Amino acid sequence: MFPHLDPVFLARAQFAFTVAYHITFPAFTIGLASWLAVVEWLWLKTGNPLYEQVYRMWVKIFAVTFGMGVVTGVVLSYQFGTNWSVFADKVGNVLGPLLGFEVLTAFFLEASFLGIMLFGWNRVSRKMHFTATMIVATGTLISAFWILSANSWMQTPAGFRQGANGLLYPTNWIELIFNPSFPYRFIHMVTGAYLTTAFVVGGIGGFYLWRGLHINHARIMLGMAMIMAIFVAPMQLLFGDMHGLNTFKYQPAKVAAMEGLWETEQGAALRLFALPDQTNERNTLEIAIPKLSSLILTHDFNGEVKGLKSWAKTDRPPVFVVFWAFRIMVGLGMLMIATGLAGLMLYLKKQLFSTRWFHMWCTAMTPAGFVAVVSGWFVTEVGRQPFAVFNVLRTSETLSPVPGSSVAVSLGAFVITYGLVFTAGAYYILKLIGKGPETTEDDVYGSHGVKQPPLVTDLASQTGGRDV
Amino acid sequence: MFSFESFLDLPLLWYGLIITVIFLYVLLDGFDLGIGILFPFAPTDACRNRMMNSVAPFWDGNETWLVLGGGGLFAAFPLAYAILMPAFYIPIILMLLGLIFRGVAFEFRFKATGKSRRIWDYSFHLGSLVATFMQGMVLGTFVHGVAVDGRNFSGGPFDWLSAFSAMTGVALVTGYALLGATWTIMKTEGDTQAWARNCARYMMLCVVLFMGLVSLSMPLMNEDIKNLWFTLPNFYWLQPMPILSVIFCIMLWRDLNTGREFRPFFLSLGLFLMNYIGIGISTWPWLVPFKVTLWHAAAGPESQSLLLLGTVFLLPCILCYTGYCFWVFRGKASHEHDAAY
């Protein structure tokens, strides 16, 4: 009844679950830390208390997210050993130092200065507090650098040799760290993280504007988010394309799975919709645009794209997951670009802060980044299968000598624990959002220094806040 | 490719580094896990707030030493990591789950209101308790040795369950509770401090009891350990440790009764150090006791060299700014939970 319940599948499922759960937190905190640094800088520069209040609201959300990121991250550093001990033994020489550097250069910075960022308000100067925020933001980026280098090495291994005992040894650290897919994957992920944050911040700003709450703060949130959506979302399309071309060069089987392409074709079509069928080696219900896939991948209408049948059945990644995860990611990316364009038009018409449908739309887009990031990781990780280290080490040969039942039970325990923690975390974050920025007495004054009677704010919330 | 192996014993250096890192973890996370262990027994909610506030800025950083311990072992001794992790599969997973429940409690507790705060009080307590107990069981199993075949663990999933490992589990719980209590003495005043002082007395008695039990049972369990400690001239060379332990215990007991605030914490650390060195000497030079030595488990010299180069520069920096953060939050902790932000 459960043909997939073999230890390899269980261990993969466990890793997929814990790592996908974990990555949603860094995907948010990488961007949020940088954004908080900008907000605090604006506060220090302009002295406008609105920025301080926005910062103080979001730093609490940052704390909850970061805490969940830390505890789920500790799990990962031990999971290489618990579930993948043969992998750990074989690639320890290569990946160990990279992960070691991640801890030494990033984790300590983040964890130590986070304390000052959260609790240091009355204990250090404003400048030192700002410095702490900057250090945390830098730490998140350094961390992304190392972990993406390690992951990219598993995709496009370089700078190593295989010893007689099957162990891998480094031969050139520069080639190993800056392996062929690393620059693309790093930029693509960091940009993805920035967009994730932008859509969360913009979504909450949009929600406040829609409901007529915290209008002045919400304008800052939505406005800054739209700057990201307008400029960075289209750039992400470009980065993603470059990353895809890099994958086409080094991992063509993955690209064939992303495209749902079974036969090698000159002038391959771009499949918009298909149901890939791994056993019968074909797609059902296909909707395709002729020649577009070849154009994107080879920049030639009749360029050749290798189909999945070029590889032995045992060397092909699971097509269905890769195919659909890719479409979800790209689809959300397109929606983000469209949001940016709509935002730009509304801004030029001076209606950005008064168009309710757009605020509702932004609210709906709040989770877009998370879904896109996780989908993207499914594309690249499932697309690497059946290898753990591409073309070097098969996933099935890297498993720990632990019984499947241990893996199954621990997977169940993780699902339950993470489910509880996620529910509680989401609840408290929603509560923080519901509470909104805390305003002090200064706040009754509008941004132009004119005292606003509290009545206006009440009125504004009834009328949707369009006139404030 | 550079390598320092021609003039440095890299595996030995890394062994030194890893045990230092694990010790720093035990010290730093020890006191905040200890606070979790004592948490529900505190007399009032204000006490609990004070205790939580006294560690809230540090727990992230403290737990990072555990990541460095795991990551460092993976990097410097991948074979030991690959054998030990499957051997400790269940206790490691339980420890991680415990750490999750206690870690999130720091954030959630201050945001919870009314009765739901109780949930996070217990999440913090039970998480800390389970994590500590499992660390103690891992330690006990480690000293006891695990089954190895070739480059793999070859035992069963429940090999770690034994009376001895259960005892080391309880021993570590009392040890961390002692660290937590003496930390609380240092960081609080009034009722909370008086209560912590009382806790520290009880915990110290337990720690002394377990130190005796472990010191007795280890030589009985293993012939090599017995020969190491009880042959001449080793016996004389190793005497400073039991003697120092006794001195620390006496000083600690007196400090707890004379109202000193800072020294009890550092004496507890000293006591931990003595035990730690004792275990280190007993298991020398094994990284997987009695099966794999530290030289056999070592990563390639290129890998150890690169990370060593980084560590030499980065570890002092980390210690400096960790020290700075502890200095920023010096003084007594407040009980007001909104002082958190």
Interface of B with A in 291-320 (CB under 8 A): 299-300, 302-303, 306-307, 310-311, 314-315, 318
Interface contact flag, A424 B58, Cβ < 8 Å: no
Residues of A in contact with B303 (CB under 8 A): 92-94, 96-97, 169-170
Query: Which pLDDT tens digit goes with each residue over A169-216?
Result: 999 899 999 999 999 999 999 999 999 999 999 999 999 999 888 888
CA atoms B65, B66, B71, B75: torsion sign: positive
- What are the backbone dihedrals phi and psi of residue A350, each rounded to the nearest 5 degrees, phi first? 60, 35
Instruction: Please enumerate in sequence order all residues whose Cβ is within 8 A of that of B205, keeping only pairs 6 or more positions apart, or say none.
Output: none
The Cα-based distances of B273 to A78, B8, B84, B241, B267 in angstroms read: 25, 26, 23, 10, 10
Interface of A with B in 45-84 (CB under 8 A): 56, 59-60, 63-64, 66-68, 70-75, 77-78, 80-82
Does the structure show a pLDDT above 60 at A465? no
Predicted TM-score (pTM) of this structure: 0.88
How far apart are the C-alpha atoms of A170 and A184, rounded to whole Å?
A: 22
Please report, rounded to a whole number, the percentage of residues in chain B having pLDDT higher than 90. Answer: 29
Which of A71, A102, A128 would best serve as a mutation to test chain B binding (most B beta carbons within 10 A)? A71
Residue type, position B301, single letter: P
CB B27 within 8 A of CB B66: no
First to last CA, chain A: 61
Strand A270-277 and strand A387-389: pairing?
unpaired
Instruction: Please enumerate in sequence order all residues whose Cβ is within 8 A of that of B59, keeping only pairs 6 or more positions apart, or say none.
Output: B29, B32, B103, B106
Interface of B with A in 27-66 (CB under 8 A): 56-58, 60-61, 63-64, 66
Record the tokens describing residue B27, joined without a space. Answer: 């010290």
The pLDDT, as a whole number, for residue A445 is: 42
Instruction: Please enumerate in sequence order all residues whose Cβ is within 8 A of that of A267, keeping only pairs 6 or more positions apart, or say none.
Output: A290, A291, A294, A301, A302, A303
CB A286 within 8 A of CB A327: no
Nearest-CB residue to A172 (from B1, B84, B314): B1
What is the chain B residue with the closest CA to A128? B328
How far apart are the C-alpha atoms of B231 and B70, rounded to whole Å?
A: 35
Minimal C-alpha gap between A147 and chain B (Å): 12
Minimal C-alpha gap between A323 and chain B (Å): 33
Instruction: Please enumerate in sequence order all residues whose Cβ is within 8 A of that of A234, keeping only pairs 6 or more positions apart, or say none.
Output: A337, A340
SS3 content of chain A, % helix, strand, coil (to 5): 70, 5, 20
The pLDDT, as a whole number, for residue A369 is: 93
Does the structure show a pLDDT above 50 at A449? no
Residue type, position B197, single letter: R
Interface contact flag, B340 A401, Cβ < 8 Å: no
Instruction: Please enumerate in sequence order all residues whose Cβ is within 8 A of that of B73, keeping only pairs 6 or more positions apart, or say none.
Output: B18, B80, B81, B84
Q: What pairs with residue A162 in β-bridges?
A: A168
ipTM score assigned to the predicted complex: 0.86
CB A321 within 8 A of CB A208: no
Q: What is the mean pLDDT of residues A139-160?
A: 93
Query: Which pLDDT tens digit goes with each residue over B227-271?
Result: 878 887 878 888 888 899 999 999 999 988 888 888 999 999 999
Query: Does B74 contact A at CB distance below 8 Å?
Result: yes
Q: Between residues A267 and A160, which one has the greater pLDDT? A: A160
Residues of A in contact with B61 (CB under 8 A): 108, 111-112, 115
CB B162 within 8 A of CB B141: yes
Q: Using 50, 70 and 90 to split pLDDT, how confident is the model at A20?
A: very high
CB B267 within 8 A of CB B251: yes
Nearest-CB residue to A410 (from B63, B93, B104): B93
CB B58 within 8 A of CB B330: no
Does the structure show a pLDDT above 70 at A462? no
What is the chain B residue with the closest CA to A402? B86
The pLDDT, as a whole number, for residue A5 is: 67
Rounded (10°) CA dihedral A416, A418, A423, A425: 150
The pLDDT, as a whole number, for residue A446 is: 42
Query: Which pLDDT tens digit goes with each residue over A366-403?
Result: 999 999 999 999 999 999 988 999 988 999 888 888 88
Does the structure show a pLDDT above 80 at A439? no
Interface contact flag, B67 A120, Cβ < 8 Å: no
The pLDDT, as a whole number, for residue A123 is: 87
In A265-389, which residue ranges form alpha helices assigned H by DSSP?
Answer: 292-298, 319-348, 356-364, 368-382
Q: What pairs with residue B293 in β-bridges?
A: B286
Mean pLDDT by 10 residues, chain B (341 residues): 78 90 89 92 88 87 88 89 90 92 87 84 94 94 88 86 91 94 90 90 92 86 81 81 90 88 90 88 84 86 88 90 88 62 45
Q: What is the mean pLDDT of residues A99-109?
A: 90
Look over chain B and give the mean of its residue pLDDT values, rounded to a whole number: 87
Query: Does A391 contact B at CB distance below 8 Å?
Result: no
Nearest-CB residue to B78 (from A89, A114, A432): A89
Residues of B in contact with A437 (CB under 8 A): none
Does the structure show a pLDDT above 60 at A459? no
The pLDDT, as a whole number, for residue A451 is: 45
Interface contact flag, B86 A402, Cβ < 8 Å: yes
For A288, the 3-state DSSP assignment is strand
Query: Does A13 contact B at CB distance below 8 Å?
Result: no
Nearest-CB residue to A88 (from B63, B81, B340): B81
Closest by CA to A182, choosing from A217, A150, A216, A141, is: A150
Size of interface A-B (CB pairs under 8 A): 237
Query: Does A290 contact B at CB distance below 8 Å?
Result: no
Which of B29, B96, B108 would best serve as a mutation to test chain A binding (most A beta carbons within 10 A)? B96
Nearest-CB residue to A96 (from B84, B157, B303): B303
Minimal C-alpha gap between A432 and chain B (Å): 9
Record the tokens describing residue A342, joined without a space. Answer: 């709509």
CB pairs under 8 A, 24+ apart, for A277-280?
A278/A316, A278/A318, A278/A319, A278/A320
